[in-house]
């Protein structure tokens, strides 16, 4: 049986084939789910084109997460269409340019608030709007959000990082309030990927380069599949007892306090060769 057989999943934030959200939608279909996407504003047509590249073309509903009327409208559409909702992917973020790229101290309050509302508060907004549908899921509904480790300060990330910290806190409060109603809320903290959002961050390449030095498992900036698979697990019944969690899918970067020094890497390689080479003692 497939991981998401007969599950009904709403996926937000699909803009390109390289996005995590697109990979989640594609993999969800491959694992037996029925998927609906959401788009917004000028990006709506892009999402509609991308939807045709999925294994089965998905419908796209217009949704501005900052508009209560649109949240109500999409929830009503899914109620009519499905009557319940098994999973929801939150892949939405927006930070004005004057609140990124080393502008932490000069960012105006309105930009910080805009970042918080769209990138963090929207998780609560989606959860509230779709809760009645998620409660009706057979086996429990699941909310999964995309995160970037907010336990430390990053170069250039500025108010995006503050918004991710808020997202992590909101996830915990959602776990508290939704758990008794049979709905889970979890985040996946991904390593850096070459996405549309990343392209808007000045200094992204310098930040991403740290993963080449510090991720024990290595890391590809162009492969969202490991992140998507973790999202699928959290959306599936296999994660039925997990909520309030942050799963790191970053090659192990977060577990190290500093990069492996070159001598240590060389010693590790030598030890590995000694252990695997036949005839050596």
Query: Catalytic residue positions?
Result: 157, 164
How far is residue 168's CA from residue 164's CA, in Å, rounded to a whole number?
6
Evaluate the CA torsion angle 11, 13, 15, 18 in order and state its sign: negative
Side-chain half-sphere CA neighbours of 40 within 13 A = 17
How far is residue 11's CA from residue 1's CA, in Å, rounded to a whole number?
22
DSSP character for 121?
I
Classify each residue of 239-251 as buried b or exposed e, where b means 16 or more C-beta atoms within 10 Å of its C-beta. Answer: beeebbebbbbbb
- CA dist 195 to 1, 64, 136, 250, Å? 32, 20, 34, 15
The CA R_g of the chain, rounded to the nearest whole Å, is: 20
Instruction: Write down the H helix ranges in the chain.
Output: 20-30, 44-51, 68-81, 109-116, 122-135, 158-178, 196-199, 204-214, 225-235, 262-276
Tokens representing 220 are 């590809």
């Amino acid at each position: 049986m497939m991981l998401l057989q007969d599950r009904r999943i709403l996926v937000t934030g699909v803009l390109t084939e390289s996005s995590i959200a697109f990979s989640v939608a594609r993999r969800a279909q491959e694992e037996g789910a029925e998927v609906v996407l959401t788009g917004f504003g000028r990006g709506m047509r892009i999402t509609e084109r991308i939807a045709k590249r999925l294994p089965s073309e998905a419908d796209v509903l217009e949704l501005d997460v900052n508009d209560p009327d649109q949240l109500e409208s999409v929830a009503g559409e899914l109620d009519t269409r499905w009557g319940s909702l098994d999973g929801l992917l939150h892949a939405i973020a927006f930070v004005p340019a004057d609140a990124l790229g080393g502008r932490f101290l000069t960012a105006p309050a309105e930009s910080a608030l805009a970042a918080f509302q769209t990138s963090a508060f929207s998780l609560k907004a989606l959860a509230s709007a779709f809760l009645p549908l998620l409660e009706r899921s057979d086996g429990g509904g699941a909310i999964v959000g995309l995160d970037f480790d907010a336990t430390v300060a990053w170069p250039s990330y500025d108010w995006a990082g503050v918004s991710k910290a808020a997202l992590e806190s909101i996830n915990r409060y959602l776990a508290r309030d939704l758990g008794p109603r049979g709905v889970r809320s979890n985040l996946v903290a991904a390593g850096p990927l070459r996405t549309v959002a990343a392209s808007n961050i000045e200094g992204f390449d310098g930040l991403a380069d740290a993963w080449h030095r510090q991720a024990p498992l290595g890391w590809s900036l162009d492969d969202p599949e490991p992140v998507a698979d973790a999202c699928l697990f959290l959306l599936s019944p296999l994660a039925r007892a997990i909520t309030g969690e942050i799963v790191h899918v970053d090659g192990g970067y977060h577990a190290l306090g500093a990069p492996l020094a070159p001598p240590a890497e060389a010693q590790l390689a030598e030890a590995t060769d000694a252990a695997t080479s036949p005839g050596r003692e």
